[in-house]
Amino acid sequence: MITKVLIANRGEIALRAIRACKELGIKSLAVYSEADLQSLPIQLADEAICIGSAPASLSYLKPDRILSAAAVCNADAVYPGYGFLSENATFAEQCTANGIKFIGPSAKTIQCMGDKVIARQMARKAGVPIIPGSDAITDERKGLKVANKIGYPVIIKAAGGGGGKGIRVANNNITFIKELRAAQMEAEKAFSNPTVYIEKYIEEPRHIEIQVLADSYGHAIHVGERDCSLQRNHQKLIEEAPSIFLDKNLRERMGKAAIKLVKKCQYEGAGTVEFLVDKHGNFYFIEMNTRIQVEHTVTEEAMGIDLVQWQLRIANKEHLTLQQKDIKCINHAIECRINAEDPDRNFAPCPGTITFYHEPGGHGIRIDSHVYQGYTIPMYYDSMIGKLIAIGANREEAIKRMQRALDEYIIGGIKTSIPLCKKLISDPDFQSGRIHTHFIEAFLKKANAPQPDKNDKSNKNKS
């Protein structure tokens, strides 16, 4: 039995895990860097221990310090959340070697699905549709041959990637070599692995992911889908569940495909199988995230299921009692990520002290955030400071509720993504569901385009 969980993360996901532990009667141990001493998770956990100085490389990314903290405080499990060490197979293996339960899949599964080339191969063997492409590419001539075979445009991706890093698009042979080298350099810098692979570039697709749960006894289900198409530089900003693009047949086929892959890789815990879906309803596997996602909250609200609690219960060797026939969508949920960044300055991070803070409330509103008035946002970590989720009986109601909530959300002292979210949620194309993965890019281009002078008569009456 798990009695105390060390939460190897920070911010809103650490607070989310603490709440789940409390509701299950499990003690929580928060670890923190010197920069996070005043963070809410540290104040609300049952215990807290400092593991290093501010940079993540000296704290949250130090397996030895996390394991030492677990030993000193008698924690028998580690909850990794997302980011940091959550998909680090070596860390998962070290936890097991030290008699500590890693709350997630096995190290072997993390390693297989974390390598995008191996994951593609596994998906192919499981009968899951994949985008036409290649295995690992190290030779430029081989890469050119593959690109010409599948046809331009192509997308070059880091094999060990994540977070939108190591991704480049090439439109012809000339740009291919340049983008290949750039992707390899970025992959080496971000992941210490320069290996890349190539896929056919699908223009204006939807990014739809299937949430899965699987226990250690071979029982697995999917918990619906999320539409995560609104993203910038492969970083998601607005997500919703369910997707209005999927009909019953497509939803069932994608769910079954996700379960095939889960069974193939012997998955355990909560995970996400991600797909690109073209305008004709063809779907293609792109990757599997072997952890909880930032946007798990929209699935929780749409489906009425506590995913984080199920992570803990599965890790505690409980049977997954939910059956596929029991999974039903009961709400429509939309999430806006609240980031401390300035959209008017190319989304530059905006660390600093929050001088005024007022959260929205009322029926159908959920806030997952670790900040408060007087809190100083450190400069060392990701810029996301919270998530605003609006829940409605249908999409129209969820949109209206989100618009109201964004108007109520006031954060002083720093710049945030709230004004941009307001504009995106109110955009007619978003409201009608005409969205794709390049929607924000096109929206920003249109918003920043020079506007014609209405008083200039020189352009009038021209044919």
Catalytic residue ranges: 291
| 338 membership: H or E segment, kind and range | strand 332-339
Residue 111's φ and ψ, nearest 5 degrees, are: -65, -45
Give the Cα separation of 268 and 324 in Å (integer).
Answer: 16
Distances (CA, A) of 200 to 1, 155, 286: 47, 6, 11
Give the Cα separation of 164 and 191 in Å (integer).
Answer: 12
Residue 250: CB atoms within 10 Å: 17
> 4-7 and 27-33: which strand pairing?
parallel
Q: What is the largest CA-CA distance in the chain?
A: 80
DSSP string over 103-146: SSS-HHHHHHHHSHHHHHHHHHHTT--B-SB-S-B--HHHHHHH
The DSSP symbol for 55 reads: S
Give the Cα separation of 244 and 42 in Å (integer).
Answer: 39
Question: Where would I find the H helices in 154-247?
Answer: 173-191
- With contact defined as beta carbons under 8 Å apart, do 283 and 210 qualify? no
Show the tokens assigned to 428.
């007619």
With 0-12 / 13-18 / 19 or more C-beta atoms within 10 angstroms meaning exposed / middle / buried, residue 163 is middle
| 345 membership: H or E segment, kind and range | none
| 401 membership: H or E segment, kind and range | helix 395-408
The residue behind tokens 């994949």 is 130
Give the Cα separation of 142 and 27 in Å (integer).
Answer: 54
Distances (CA, A) of 291 to 82, 341, 450: 6, 26, 43
